[in-house]
Amino acid sequence: MWVAILLTAAGCYLLKLLGLSVPQSVLAHPAVRRIADLLPVALLAALVGTQTFGDGASLSVDARLAGLVAGVVALLLRASFLVVVAVAAVSAAVLRLLAG
Amino acid sequence: MTEARRTIVRDAVAVGVATGAYGISFGAIAVTSGLSVLQACALSLLVFTGASQFAFVGVVAAGGAPVSGAATALMLGSRNTLYGLRLGSLLDLRGARRNAAAQLVIDESTAMAINRDNAADARLGFFATGLAVFALWNLATLGGALAGQALGDPRAFGLDAAVAAAFVALMWPQLRDARSRTTALAAAVLAVALVPLVPAGVPVLAAALVAVLGGLRAAR
């Protein structure tokens, strides 16, 4: 078990360092630069999608979506970051409480 | 410290609390899966990337060999490499500082760095968030490993919806740009569509293809 843990730790750290260490000359190419710019948005949006609808290997629509929609409404009303996060959490929690 | 920078630190702490709370689940699940408290804490300190850690204990809990848990964890950890491609130029760090910063490259610290309009704010967003999540994630792991499920499920407090909404809020300024908006929407749709078809973690990695296509298409 310890061997696997240390292997995972070393591997995950090197993966993080690898991305930060790619020379800027490689990233200077316009197409590569645009791809690198779009990567975080694509991955984070995908993460939001799977966090909202994913349920193991299946999809489900539940209080998470309601919380997210409430958060987006707060964003459209120009609420601050803390308010957006709190609105999403409270909406989902209250809905779950009501659904019992 | 200016008002804007205070706001960044305050938001970073909020992100740390919302995501750090999942460390309780991680600690509890790790111990239930047969890891010792020390092993659970070592994963949070040394691996420090939530999706990989959950995958590792998930494989072990399902009776898989620890080494196949490690392989799954590494596959999931590769998304941090892709974040680094953007963060490298944004943070512009060298030597020992870069090597230390690498451990903090995760979803949350990336999201808090990419939406800033200058390098100093991007660095502050990255380090404040990375350190806040690191501290709370590790404390929560220890608490969860010792107390088990007794500390409660973060979902009961709506923290799953809060984390998703936090990512949307952090991407919000970028989504004013039409190409970013199209990319984000296509990436989310692709990832959700893939959830029933491929192993956990792959849908998010597959969404990187959307960024590649978006970047190439604009080149023409």
Q: Are the beta carbons of B191 and A47 separated by less than 8 Å?
A: yes
CA distance linking residue A16 with residue B99, whole number of Å: 9
Place of tokens 């300190």: B45
pLDDT given at position B152: 74
The three-class DSSP label of residue A54 is strand
Q: Which residues of chain A have pLDDT under 50?
A: none
pLDDT given at position B220: 56
A25 contacts in chain B (CB < 8 Å): none
Q: At what angle do helices B95-102 and B119-147 cross, to 10 degrees?
A: 40
pLDDT given at position B206: 93
- The alpha-carbon gap from B182 to the nearest alpha carbon of chain A, in Å, equals 9
Q: Are the beta carbons of B215 and A18 separated by less than 8 Å?
A: no
Give A55's strand partners: A58
pLDDT given at position B123: 97
- The alpha-carbon gap from A99 to the nearest alpha carbon of chain B, in Å, equals 12
Q: Are the beta carbons of A47 and B204 separated by less than 8 Å?
A: yes
CA distance linking residue B153 with residue B22, whole number of Å: 9
- The alpha-carbon gap from A25 to the nearest alpha carbon of chain B, in Å, equals 10
Contact of B161 with A19, CB cutoff 8 Å: no
Q: Who among B89, B172, B195 is closest to A27 (CB)?
A: B89
Phi, psi of A85 (to 5 degrees): -65, -40
Phi, psi of B163 (to 5 degrees): -65, -45
The whole model's pTM is what? 0.90
pLDDT given at position B149: 65
- The burial of B40, by beta-carbon neighbours within 10 Å (0-12 exposed, 13-18 middle, 19 or more buried), is given as buried
Pick the closest to residue B171 from A59, A84, A97 (CA basis): A84
In a structure prediction context, what are the per-residue pLDDT tens digits for chain B, which is 220 residues long? 789 999 999 999 999 999 988 999 899 999 988 899 999 999 999 999 999 999 999 888 888 889 999 999 999 999 999 999 999 999 999 999 999 999 999 999 999 999 898 999 999 999 999 999 999 999 999 999 998 767 778 888 898 899 999 999 999 999 999 999 999 999 999 999 999 999 888 899 999 999 999 999 875 5
Phi, psi of B49 (to 5 degrees): -155, 110
CA distances, B151 to each of A33, A93, B26 (Å): 45, 16, 12
